Amino acid sequence: MPREPSARESALATRTEHAPNASALTIIRNFLAEHSPGGIASLLAEQYLGALLRPLPGFEGLALRAGFYRLLFARLEGFPFIYPGARLDHCRGIRAGRSFAVHSGAFVSGRGGLTVGNGVLIGPNAVIVSTQHRYELVDRPICEQGHRLLPTTIGDDVWVGANAVILPGTRTASGTIVSAGAVVTQDTEPYSIVAGVPARMIGRRPQASTASEAE
Specify which residues 136 forms β-bridges with.
Answer: none
Of 179, 184, 188, 192, the one binding ligand COA (CB under 6 A) is 179
**Binding to ligand COA by residue 198, rule CB under 6 A?**
no
d(CA 93, CA 111): 6
Number of residues in contact with ligand COA under rule CB under 6 A? 14
Query: Is residue 183 within the footprint of ligand COA (CB under 6 A)?
Result: no
Q: Is 103 left (phi over 0), alpha (psi -120 to 50) or beta?
A: beta
Q: How far is Cα 177 from Cα 185, in angstroms, rounded to an integer? A: 14
- Least separation, in Å, of the C-beta of 51 and ligand COA? 24
- Dist CA 158 CA 39 (whole Å): 28
- Per CB under 6 A, which of residues 134..163 are in contact with ligand COA? 161-162
Contact predicate 193/205, CB 8 Å: yes
Distance CA 62, CA 103 (A): 11
Per-residue mark of binding to ligand COA, 103-132 (x: CB under 6 A) = x-----------------x-xx--------
The verdict on 82 binding ligand COA (CB under 6 A) reads no
The window from 27-35, 59-67, 80-88, 188-196 that contacts ligand COA (CB under 6 A) reads: 188-196
**Is residue 41 within the footprint of ligand COA (CB under 6 A)?**
no
Quick one: 81 or 146, whose CB is closer to ligand COA? Answer: 81
What is the side-by-side order of every strand in the sheet holding 127-128? 87-89, 107-109, 127-128, 165-166, 183-184
Sites of contact with ligand COA (CB under 6 A): 103, 121, 123-124, 161-162, 177, 179-181, 193, 195-196, 202
